[in-house]
Amino acid sequence: ETGVTQTPRHLVMGMTNKKSLKCEQHLGHNAMYWYKQSAKKPLELMFVYSLEERVENNSVPSRFSPECPNSSHLFLHLHTLQPEDSALYLCASSPTQGGNTEAFFGQGTRLTVV
């Protein structure tokens, strides 16, 4: 147990649906991240939030919309996804953003787009 909790663990959605992924940490960390893990590909950093401000957006399509209402919670809102968006979505947090601090990962949400 890393202290980072993601819900739901599994999600199946149609291409016209709207859903949200939730991430929660009570470690007192100031930075939170969304990563995408697809089969046969390295982990892709999607979004970085530091002190609730978005500091990085790695050219992620607008059908993915992050939200960080406070330092303990991070959401990823999904709408009109494509089948190629099926992947494991991992949330992570760290005490600060970047530098030499490790990140603590949740167990991920396995997303299937049909």
Partner 1 sequence: AQSVTQLDSHVSVSEGTPVLLRCNYSSSYSPSLFWYVQHPNKGLQLLLKYTSAATLVKGINGFEAEFKKSETSFHLTKPSAHMSDAAEYFCVVSERGQAGTALIFGKGTTLSVSS
Contacting positions for partner 1 (CB under 8 A): 2, 4, 6, 31, 33, 41-43, 45, 48, 55-56, 90, 92, 94, 97-108, 110
Q: Which is nearer to partner 1, 65 or 107 (CB)?
A: 107
**Cβ 6 to partner 1 shortest distance, Å:** 8
Q: How many angstroms separate the Cα of 113 from the Cα of each of 5, 15, 49, 106?
A: 22, 6, 26, 21
**Cβ 110 to partner 1 shortest distance, Å:** 8
Q: Which is nearer to partner 1, 14 or 98 (CB)?
A: 98
**Cβ 18 to partner 1 shortest distance, Å:** 25
**Cβ 2 to partner 1 shortest distance, Å:** 7
Q: Which is nearer to partner 1, 79 or 95 (CB)?
A: 95
